[in-house]
Amino acid sequence: MDSDLFSRRRAERFAQLLDEANGGRRHHVRSRSDDELTALVAVSRRLTADRPDVEVDGEFRTGLRAMLVATAEREGVAAPAKTGVRGALLPAMTGRRARARGAILVGVAAGAVALSGISAASENALPGDALYGMKRSTERAQLALASSDISRGQLFLGFARTRLDEAATVRDDRLGFSAVLDDMDADTRQGVRLLTTVAAQRSDPAALDAVDTFLGDQRRAVSGLLDRSDHADRDRTRRSLALLDAAGRRADALRESIACGLPAPAASDALGPAPTSCPGDR
């Protein structure tokens, strides 16, 4: 059987079951997938009835709306009916498919809003907690919804601050402490690379202001981890401080390069473009 046709039939049957569950007219038909779809309908109704008691972030609402609009346009929900013989012969089928797709979008929206409540609950989760995976998934979703490299770079630096807060609480777990700092350094590199690249491409140092602000606060906070009694933990902390120092030198060198009118550097590394010295500098 054609898998695309089978998927459409499942979607249409799912829409019928949702309609019946919400008080609509009963469709006196059954399909082999009714048991599975009925379970999904129950989940959908539960998500609608047991909405999480949290305030959904405005940025999340905006991103979700954009995602749903894009999906609706791609799937043809609410699209004008096609003219011609095919459109005239299958108006009922077109309407059912539109309702099915609409029902799926409603389910996606309900699930996303419910997950936003779980995401809010996971904000303070630490490595090893049950909700920590959700916390990291929420961060990846924020990156996917970011509108520009500047926004993504700032998000990465914000995540590096979050990893630092987590490291400060994982004081009795050497492996956990080192792993969190590894993630922190990875976020730092990603954020600095995105922002320095934007600055070099635009020949505008404005994007480096976020780097400078981050480095000032982060250096002080990371230095506070040097009081750990374990020698290996102190050495690991010094590696993170060395990365911050390298990022600061890169931002300073890029500012000088932009100021003296040099073109965007051709060479780059984990921290972004690697500028050459201005003419006359030794």
How many residues comprise the chain?
282
78 backbone φψ class: left, alpha, beta (φ>0; ψ -120 to 50): left
% of the chain with per-residue pLDDT over 70: 63
Arithmetic mean of pLDDT, 137-153: 91
Arithmetic mean of pLDDT, 42-61: 58
> Which pLDDT belongs to residue 57?
57
Handedness of CA 182, 187, 189, 192 (dihedral sign): negative
Residue 238 pLDDT > 90: yes
Going by their DSSP bridges, the two strands 268-269 and 272-273 should be labelled as antiparallel
Which of 29-33, 49-53, 126-130, 248-252 has the lowest average pLDDT?
Answer: 49-53
Please, are residues 103 and 15 in contact by the beta-carbon 8 Å criterion?
A: yes
Residue 94: band (very low, low, confident or very high) from pLDDT cuts 50, 70, 90: low
pLDDT digits (tens, 9 = 90+) for 163-185: 999 998 886 777 889 999 999 99
Please, are residues 127 and 176 in contact by the beta-carbon 8 Å criterion?
A: yes
Domain parsing of the chain, residue ranges: 3-121, 132-273
C-alpha to C-alpha distances, 260 to 197, 204, 249, nearest whole angstrom: 17, 12, 17
d(Cα 172, Cα 180) in Å, to the nearest integer?
A: 13
Is pTM beyond 0.75? Reply is no
- At 272, give phi and psi (nearest 5°): 105, -160
pLDDT digits (tens, 9 = 90+) for 242-251: 999 999 999 9
d(Cα 255, Cα 249) in Å, to the nearest integer?
A: 10
pLDDT digits (tens, 9 = 90+) for 187-210: 999 999 999 999 999 999 999 999
| Between 63 and 130, residue with greater pLDDT | 130
| Between 220 and 2, residue with greater pLDDT | 220
Name which of 129, 221, 125, 92 is nearest 168 in CA terms: 221
Dmax (CA) of the chain: 85
Query: Can you spell out the DSSP letters for the chain?
Result: --HHHHHHHHHHHHHHHHHHHTT--------TTHHHHHHHHHHHHHHHHS--SSPPPHHHHHHHHHHHHHHHHHHTTTPPPPPSHHHHH-HHHHHHHHHHHHHHHHHHHHHHHHHHHHHHHTTT--TTSTTHHHHHHHHHHHHHH--SHHHHHHHHHHHHHHHHHHHHH--S-HHHHHHHHHHHHHHHHHHHHHHHHHHHHHT-GGGHHHHHHHHHHHHHHHHGGGG-S-HHHHHHHHHHHHHHHHHHHHHHHHHHHHHTTPPPPS-EETTEE-PPPPTT--
